[in-house]
């Protein structure tokens, strides 16, 4: 198997390749550089932290990839250093110079003319200096407590201060309230969009903070910390309160990475390394801002549409374009047949309309919903609150342990409770990652269920950026199973048998393994056998071994894995019948789709789950079948057939785990453009 961390870094190399591609619009190239920076932050906060823990507690244990923790850590650090060097090289040598030719400039202090210098000094005194608190290090002023990923400066000094103290080193922390980019007036800048980095202002005028002393330099740095939360789930009596307490400490975990200015003297580098107990391998010299994701602000400048991807308008499919959120018509349309949505090509609005209708329809008596990520400003959550105020039974399963969205979800949980909604936090020890909403409506003296099942979060913003499928249905087989799952999440009792849905941690893993084995059995009998699967990550060892066995039995297997893939494809005698490709483009591939030929019946499942240990065994996940033949055909075409013809965005995995771009002399096929054009035409 391939190493998880190295595979994740390979994905970020593919993202950075989008920034390097000359056909990518210029500001979008900058955006991809920033995305890699943000991804690396989380990589260190979670994955490197995990590797360091393995080094501490099990240094001799060899993983499924054949590497010891020390070997894996060395390989990973080398790969990150190479990626970061490539990232800053692309920014400084390509993107920023070309942006200047388009009227967007970052003004370095070394290039300021007199007018720019005067503006910068005034701006420093007015906007920045009042918020700075320099700390001179001495016995009375120990090294300050440093917030995770905060911007800091180390300043070597000489001289004697007013109290007769000998100056040596000071630390200046940039408050989070200060903007990292400041707009310079066009008349002074000479560019339509001229900006100055906060780091440039502080470095240029840091001497103003130390009157009478000699400033010998000013060097930016930041430290990244372990941000994984630990909540003792066996001891916890109130998960929300326990998590709230843990969140306050997240930003002061153990240090895992030090980023410093490339010109930082070795003595100061060693000083910071000692302070945070980090080594040279943990230290990254940056040829630019230590947090490139701050440059994402430039991607939103006015009047630069020509430097961005063309505007995208998702279509609203029939019948939703006609019925909108008219309750009776909308529910009748869903009752007539299942309705498939493919975001972002098709709008998320029908899902909002579905919940709006449920909130206002007097015949709706109850709404049940899972929430994993929904954002700080969520129309969907406001609809649930309105439904609760209207007297409907509203039950919301809020996952408090959604990484980096914990505080947002805690806030929504409190607001929902205030208006009378029933709020539960799922099952302690098993994150609720399933995406489902269930509406109970009184029709002709009986209760009828309507449901929405999806592969992505109930988050309207990401629904414009991530590719996901959603199914609106009144099929009793699906809706009754959904109701059983909600009962499991809110109450207590034995496991409930589901007719249609596969559910983690109970039946999903066994179901997937069983379907893989069935294809292998068919192949051994000389019958047609085929597996296609699309997901974000493939790591679970048993599933990988079963795929290897199926390949050896002659099953043709196509895997579309956006990110981490521990399976090696195309290895003679092991996986020569398996092909792995990754699609990286304008939209983030996020849907999970599983296809099995199933002796001609063609079983197709949409799911919230990747094929990872955590999704199979430590989460509540769902995989739901597509019964409607026309919709099944759509899913096969949109999830697989076009993607397997893509020769613009696709990367093919090699047996050693590296990836090569898919190119051919055939007609260009760009998955995102093809689906956007097709679904815009059909609605």
In a domain, 212, yes or no: yes
Enumerate residue ranges in the chain where pLDDT < 70: 139-140, 229-251, 401-405, 681-683
Q: Burial letters for 438-470: b for 16+ Cβ neighbours within 10 Å, e otherwise? A: bbbbeeeeeebbbbbbbbbbbbbebbeebbbbb
Is 430 annotated as belonging to a binding site? no
Closest C-alpha among 575, 571, 632 to residue 606: 632
The answer to whether residues 491 and 481 touch, using CB atoms and an 8 Å cutoff, is no
Is 517 annotated as belonging to a binding site? no
* Same domain for 82 and 61: yes
In a domain, 362, yes or no: yes
* Same domain for 50 and 20: yes
In a domain, 312, yes or no: no
Q: Is the dihedral of CA 543, 548, 553, 554 positive or negative?
A: positive
- Backbone angle region of 123, left / alpha / beta, with phi > 0 → left and psi within -120 to 50 → alpha: alpha
Please give the structure tokens belonging to residue 470: 């959603």
Looking at 433, 452, 459, 509, which residue is catalytic? 433
The pLDDT of residue 402: 56
* Same domain for 362 and 405: yes
The pLDDT of residue 140: 65
* Same domain for 520 and 372: no
In a domain, 602, yes or no: yes
Is 448 annotated as belonging to a binding site? no
* Same domain for 644 and 514: yes
The pLDDT of residue 236: 42
In a domain, 315, yes or no: no
Last residue of a domain, one of 477, 499, 521: 499
Domain enclosing residue 290, as ranges? 4-307
The answer for residues whose C-beta is within 8 angstroms of residue 155's C-beta and 6 or more apart is 134, 169, 170, 171, 172, 206, 210, 215, 217, 218, 219
The pLDDT of residue 375: 76
Please give the structure tokens belonging to residue 251: 């930003």
The answer to whether residues 366 and 394 touch, using CB atoms and an 8 Å cutoff, is yes
Give Cα separations from 656 to 216, 543, 558, 653 (angstroms): 49, 20, 17, 8
* Same domain for 110 and 201: yes
Please give the structure tokens belonging to residue 600: 């001609």
Which position has the token pair 């007297």? 391
Closest C-alpha among 425, 420, 423, 454 to residue 437: 454
The pLDDT of residue 235: 44
- What distance in Å separates the CA atoms of residue 117 and residue 128, rounded to the nearest whole number? 15
The pLDDT of residue 238: 53
Give Cα separations from 149 to 91, 168, 257 (angstroms): 21, 25, 10
φ, ψ for residue 112, nearest 5 deg: -65, 135
Q: In the chain, how many domains are there?
A: 3
In a domain, 448, yes or no: yes
In a domain, 314, yes or no: no
* Same domain for 80 and 195: yes
Is 442 annotated as belonging to a binding site? no
User: CATH number for the domain including 291?
Assistant: 3.30.1840.10
* Same domain for 235 and 210: yes
pTM assigned to the model: 0.92
In a domain, 313, yes or no: no
The answer to whether residues 455 and 467 touch, using CB atoms and an 8 Å cutoff, is no
The answer to whether residues 388 and 420 touch, using CB atoms and an 8 Å cutoff, is yes
Which position has the token pair 């100061």? 268
* Same domain for 511 and 476: no
Last residue of a domain, one of 261, 276, 307: 307
- Planar angle of CA 201, 205, 209, nearest 5 degrees: 120
Give Cα separations from 329 to 119, 288, 320, 361 (angstroms): 61, 57, 9, 11
Which position has the token pair 């304008």? 586
* Same domain for 90 and 44: yes
Last residue of a domain, one of 282, 307, 332: 307
User: CATH number for the domain including 620?
Assistant: 3.30.870.10
Determine the 3-state secondary structure of 580 from DSSP: strand
* Same domain for 507 and 495: no
* Same domain for 515 and 650: yes
Is 203 annotated as belonging to a binding site? no
Active site includes 433? yes
How many other CB atoms sit within 10 Å of the CB of residue 178?
Answer: 15
Is 577 annotated as belonging to a binding site? no
- Backbone angle region of 107, left / alpha / beta, with phi > 0 → left and psi within -120 to 50 → alpha: beta
Q: What are 229-234's contacts with CB under 8 Å, separation 24+?
A: 229/401, 229/403, 229/406, 231/401, 233/428, 233/429
Helix 379-389 vs helix 406-418: crossing angle, to nearest 10 = 20
């Amino acid at each position: 198997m391939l190493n998880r961390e190295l595979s994740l870094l390979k994905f970020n190399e593919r993202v950075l390749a989008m920034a390097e591609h000359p056909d990518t619009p210029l500001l979008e190239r900058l955006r991809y550089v920033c995305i890699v920076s943000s991804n690396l932050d989380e990589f260190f906060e979670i994955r490197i932290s995990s590797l360091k823990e393995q080094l501490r507690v099990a240094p001799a244990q060899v993983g499924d990839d054949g590497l010891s923790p020390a070997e894996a850590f060395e390989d990973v650090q080398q790969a990150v250093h190479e990626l970061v060097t490539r990232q800053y090289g692309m920014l400084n040598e390509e993107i920023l110079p070309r942006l200047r030719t388009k009227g967007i400039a970052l003004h370095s202090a070394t290039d300021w003319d007199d007018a720019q210098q005067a503006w910068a000094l005034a701006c420093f005194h007015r906007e920045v200096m009042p918020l700075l608190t320099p700390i001179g290090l001495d016995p009375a002023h120990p090294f300050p407590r440093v917030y995770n990923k905060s911007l800091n400066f180390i300043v070597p000094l000489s001289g004697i201060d007013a109290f007769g103290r000998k100056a040596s080193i000071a630390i200046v922390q940039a408050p989070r309230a200060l903007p990292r980019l400041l707009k310079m007036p066009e008349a002074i800048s000479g560019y339509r969009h001229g900006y100055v980095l906060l780091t440039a202002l502080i470095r240029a005028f840091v001497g103003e903070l130390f009157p009478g002393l000699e400033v010998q330099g000013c060097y930016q740095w930041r430290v990244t910390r372990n941000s994984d939360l630990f909540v003792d789930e066996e001891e916890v009596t109130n998960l929300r309160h326990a998590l709230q307490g843990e969140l306050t400490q997240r930003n002061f975990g153990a240090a895992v990475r030090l980023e410093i200015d490339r010109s930082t003297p070795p003595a100061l580098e060693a000083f910071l390394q000692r302070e945070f107990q980090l080594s040279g391998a943990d230290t990254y010299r940056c040829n630019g801002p230590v947090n490139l994701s701050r440059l994402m602000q430039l991607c939103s400048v006015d009047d630069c549409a020509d430097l961005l991807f063309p505007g995208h308008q998702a279509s609203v499919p029939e019948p939703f374009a006609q019925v909108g959120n008219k309750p009776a018509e909308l529910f009748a349309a869903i009752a007539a047949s299942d309705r498939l949505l493919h975001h972002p090509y098709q709008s998320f609005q029908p899902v909002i309309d579905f919940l709006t209708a449920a909130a206002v329809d007097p015949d709706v008596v109850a709404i049940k919903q899972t929430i994993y990520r929904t954002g700080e400003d969520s129309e969907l959550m406001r609809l649930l609150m309105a439904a609760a105020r209207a007297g409907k039974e509203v039950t919301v399963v809020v996952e408090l342990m959604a990484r980096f969205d914990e505080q947002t979800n805690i806030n929504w949980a409190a607001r929902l409770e205030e208006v009378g909604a029933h709020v539960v936090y799922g099952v302690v020890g098993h994150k609720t990652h399933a995406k489902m909403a269930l509406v109970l409506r009184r029709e002709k003296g009986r209760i009828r269920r309507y449901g929405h099942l999806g592969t992505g979060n109930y988050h309207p913003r990401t629904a414009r950026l991530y590719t996901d499928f959603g199914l609106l249905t009144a099929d009793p087989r699906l809706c009754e199973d959904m109701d059983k799952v909600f009962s499991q999440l809110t109450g207590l009792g034995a496991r409930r048998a589901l007719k249609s849905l596969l559910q983690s941690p109970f039946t999903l893993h066994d179901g997937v393994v069983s379907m893989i084995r069935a294809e292998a059995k068919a192949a051994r009998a000389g019958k047609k056998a085929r597996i296609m699967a699309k997901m974000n990550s493939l790591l679970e060892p048993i599933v990988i071994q079963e795929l290897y066995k199926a390949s050896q039995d002659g099953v043709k297997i196509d895997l579309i894995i956006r990110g981490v893939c521990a399976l090696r494809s195309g290895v003679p005698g092991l996986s020569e019948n398996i092909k792995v490709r990754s699609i990286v483009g304008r939209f983030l591939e996020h849907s999970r789709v599983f296809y099995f030929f199933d002796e001609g019946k063609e079983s197709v499942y949409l799911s919230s789950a990747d094929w990872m240990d955590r999704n199979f065994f430590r989460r509540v996940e769902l995989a739901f079948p597509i019964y409607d033949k026309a919709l099944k055909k759509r899913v096969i075409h949109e999830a697989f057939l076009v993607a397997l013809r893509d020769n613009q965005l696709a990367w093919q995995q090699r047996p050693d785990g590296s990836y090569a771009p898919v190119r051919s002399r055939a007609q260009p096929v760009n998955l995102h453009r093809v689906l956007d054009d097709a679904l815009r035409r059909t609605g």
